[in-house]
Structure 1
Amino acid sequence: MTIHTTSLRPPDVEEDVQIPLGFLMEMTNATSEDALSELFVRWAIRMTNAERCAVAIQDSDTTFVVHQSGDTGRASAGRSHPIAGSLMGDVLFSREMRIVRHLEQQRYAGCRVLGAAGMGTIVAVPVIGDKLCLGVISATYRKARVVSPRDRAIFEVLASVLGAQVILLRQMTDLKRLVRTDPLTGAFNRNHLAHTAAQHWNDWMAIARPFCIASVDLDHFKLVNDSMGHAIGDAVLRETVRRLKSKLRSGDTIIRMGGEEFCILLGGMSDSAASPFVRRLRNVIQDTPFQTNDGLVAVTASIGIASPDYEDSSFDETLRRSDKALYAAKAAGRNTVVTHVRQDVMAAG
């Protein structure tokens, strides 16, 4: 069997390192840091003489997420491990490669556990990307041996490539978030609506999983902008989103449709179940005046809600019914919630 490779040379290494093209192709398809870490530990075992390999990516000030692979070549699911008191933590902060032998005699508890399991040597290389130390890639050998220059070079290359890929993934994630996020309020925007709408609609069509759309409009918001200025209006919009988010469930989505109009998607909830929930959303806006630089501002909202039924041919049709219920709420005097049902519009509170 022929394994196609390409050559890479890390800094301070005299010879090129042969990297399998299959590894590079898999790497380009990894869409998360977990998938990337699993990929690296699997291939590190194939490419070196190590018994075990691990990738630890820092996920907080105090913890790593660690993926490991043994001689089976399978990567374990990522687990959280403390940074403090670990060899990998010391490598993270020093940003220098460490080779440690006689593991059973080391002060690191993790090394002593490996030593008790018959391991003799560990090499740990910092993963650096965009001048940041992001984590550590390590390899364990069964004997207290000298790590070959070839293996050292491979791990330096893997650490360098992993650092670059982690930074690239994070930049892509940030870009996707920016494309789908309203910069003023932090709510999602219309670009995100299409993606989320498709998920809800597909679940409804496939397994009849209900969802509810709440169309929200701040009452007389133009008066706030005209009388107090757009800076105050912007502050009111930001606080509105903050308050709504504080009451939403983890899977719910709030989208700024434009101006003072918002759309809230409530997954797994029919309109009858959503009605009291949405009334609580209305109350969180009206119950406490908004504190601004120009004093307190009283704000209320009109809300229309609708859930799909089998006469709806698309998500957009359900959204139009939610909008109709919103218009009815405004016509009924504002600061109310109205539910749209077929052939009628029924006030819900």
Structure 2
Amino acid sequence: MINKKKFTERIFDPNQLSGLDEDHYIQLPVDFIHDLSKAASLQDLLDKIAFWISHVFDADRVSITLQENEEYLKLYSISGNQAIPIDFKIPIKQTFVGRTFATAKLIICDDLSQSDELDCQMLTQHGMGTCMDAPMIHNDICIGTLNVADERKYYYSEQQAILLQCLANWLAMNIKLHLQFQEMEVLASTDELTGAFNRRVFIQESNQTMLQFFKSNIPFSIGILDIDHFKTLNDCYGHKAGDYVLKLMSEHIQKVLRANDFLARIGGEEFAIILPACLSTEAVQVFKRILATIEMMQIHYDDNIICFTVSIGVAEVKKHDADIEGVFKRADKALYRAKKLGRNQIYLAE
């Protein structure tokens, strides 16, 4: 039995909690493990974790936070009582969860009503009596917290603290693996210099757009954009200046495009743009805005001001197109015509 007069809060070092007897084992539902292996995204993983932790601890509330910046933790998933809403940014200072994160110590608050910390007060106002928060630690770095709460006061035992901390560390590893996988996907799909998609992803996206055309007859247009006299620009200002131009141009183009439009760097100074659900007449208007935006750019590099133009070839999908290659070739030929006719212009393929 816990001496209620003596304890309102208990703090544990995770390293001490991990020093278990050889005969101590953790038992988890089989479906818990299966569900985690099926998580398609980080959010899906965290939602599954919160759901199953609530069952393992018979908790009235489970929440998971990850660090957002130096000042705040972000709530990613909640199961059960919604005392603290999902969009509430949790200050690292002056909160129970923030203190768990900052100290990397597991803390049990036996009586939430005795705490003056913001999140404890919010939990109390919504009927919670006690909570236990464990730091999620990976490679000695705390990445967030795992919190369980119950309506009853003085509810959590040291054995439950051991279980929660072990789960928090195990889940931290799962979260890190998901984050690393996401990072690898981003690196594999984006152009390192400009942040635009790369040629491999452009091929995938264009094929997918073509399949959608076959299925639903939704038109689309492709534009191929190339910087005029880029070799001269590199020779005059240097390759680092050329890289800087490519990066800034990509950012400016992205601001002009719609949410569903697709930009990729497909080689050197050449970019491809897919405009879904867009006829050629509408596409030309989009590309005119891009052309004008780039023409107005003045890039300050060292003591120089770099100005440049682009040429764009545009093609719309046709009913007779058997695959995306036909559309791409027409756009590429249109780009060649734009160059031949004097550059800094758009040429629409017939």
Q: TM-score, normalised by structure 1?
A: 0.85
Alpha-carbon separation, structure 2, partners of 1:108 and 1:199: 52
**Structure 1 pair 207–234 and aligned structure 2 pair: CA distance change class (3 A):** same
Per the TM alignment, residue 216 of structure 1 is displaced from its structure 2 partner at its CA by 0.3
Are 1:40 and 2:69 matched, yes or no?
no
Contact 1:282 1:301 in 2 (8 A): yes
Alignment of 1:128-277 (within 5 A): 128-277=137-286
Q: Which residue of 2 aligns with 1:283?
A: 292
**Structure 1 pair 63–271 and aligned structure 2 pair: CA distance change class (3 A):** farther
Are 1:17 and 2:20 matched, yes or no?
no
- Tell me whether 254-263 or 176-185 shows the greater mean CA deviation: 176-185
Contact 1:40 1:158 in 2 (8 A): no
Alpha-carbon separation, structure 2, partners of 1:297 and 1:115: 61
**Structure 1 pair 59–33 and aligned structure 2 pair: CA distance change class (3 A):** farther
**Structure 1 pair 135–117 and aligned structure 2 pair: CA distance change class (3 A):** same
Which amino acid is the alignment partner of residue 344 of structure 2? Answer: N
Which amino acid is the alignment partner of residue 82 of structure 1? Answer: K
Alpha-carbon separation, structure 2, partners of 1:164 and 1:204: 42
Contact 1:289 1:298 in 2 (8 A): yes
Contact 2:73 2:144 in 1 (8 A): no
Q: Which residue of 2 aligns with 1:65?
A: 75
Contact 2:245 2:299 in 1 (8 A): yes
Contact 2:65 2:73 in 1 (8 A): no
The CA RMSD over aligned residues, in Å, is 2.5
Write out per-residue CA displacement over residues 299-331 of structure 1, whole angstroms, 9 at most, x where no aligned residue: 111101122232222222222221121112112
Write out per-residue CA displacement over residues 218-268 of structure 1, whole angstroms, 9 at most, x where no aligned residue: 112122233443233222222322322232233322211111111112233
Which amino acid is the alignment partner of residue 183 of structure 1? Answer: E
Per the TM alignment, residue 168 of structure 1 is displaced from its structure 2 partner at its CA by 1.1
User: 5+ unaligned residues in a row in structure 1: which ranges?
Assistant: 1-8, 342-349
Q: Percent identity of the aligned residues?
A: 28
Per the TM alignment, residue 31 of structure 1 is displaced from its structure 2 partner at its CA by 2.9
User: 5+ unaligned residues in a row in structure 2: which ranges?
Assistant: 1-15
Contact 2:78 2:86 in 1 (8 A): no
Q: Which residue of 2 aligns with 1:4?
A: none
Alpha-carbon separation, structure 1, partners of 2:288 and 2:184: 35
Per the TM alignment, residue 294 of structure 1 is displaced from its structure 2 partner at its CA by 5.9
Per the TM alignment, residue 117 of structure 1 is displaced from its structure 2 partner at its CA by 4.0
Alpha-carbon separation, structure 2, partners of 1:315 and 1:92: 51
Alpha-carbon separation, structure 1, partners of 2:201 and 2:25: 45
Contact 2:222 2:273 in 1 (8 A): yes
Which amino acid is the alignment partner of residue 308 of structure 1? Answer: V
Contact 2:62 2:79 in 1 (8 A): yes
Q: Which residue of 2 aligns with 1:6?
A: none
Are 1:310 and 2:323 matched, yes or no?
no
Write out per-residue CA displacement over residues 113-141 of structure 1, whole angstroms, 9 at most, x where no aligned residue: 43344432110111122433222111112
Contact 1:102 1:115 in 2 (8 A): no
Q: Which residue of 2 aligns with 1:344?
A: none
Contact 1:282 1:300 in 2 (8 A): yes
**Structure 1 pair 193–62 and aligned structure 2 pair: CA distance change class (3 A):** same
SS at 2:234 equivalent: helix
Q: Which residue of 2 aligns with 1:100?
A: 109
**Structure 1 pair 124–303 and aligned structure 2 pair: CA distance change class (3 A):** same
Aligned length: 329
SS at 1:55 equivalent: strand
**Structure 1 pair 323–154 and aligned structure 2 pair: CA distance change class (3 A):** same
Q: TM-score, normalised by structure 2?
A: 0.85
Which amino acid is the alignment partner of residue 62 of structure 1? Answer: Y
Alpha-carbon separation, structure 1, partners of 2:311 and 2:55: 61
Alpha-carbon separation, structure 2, partners of 1:235 and 1:113: 49
Alpha-carbon separation, structure 1, partners of 2:54 and 2:238: 63
Alpha-carbon separation, structure 2, partners of 1:167 and 1:173: 10
Alpha-carbon separation, structure 2, partners of 1:86 and 1:267: 47
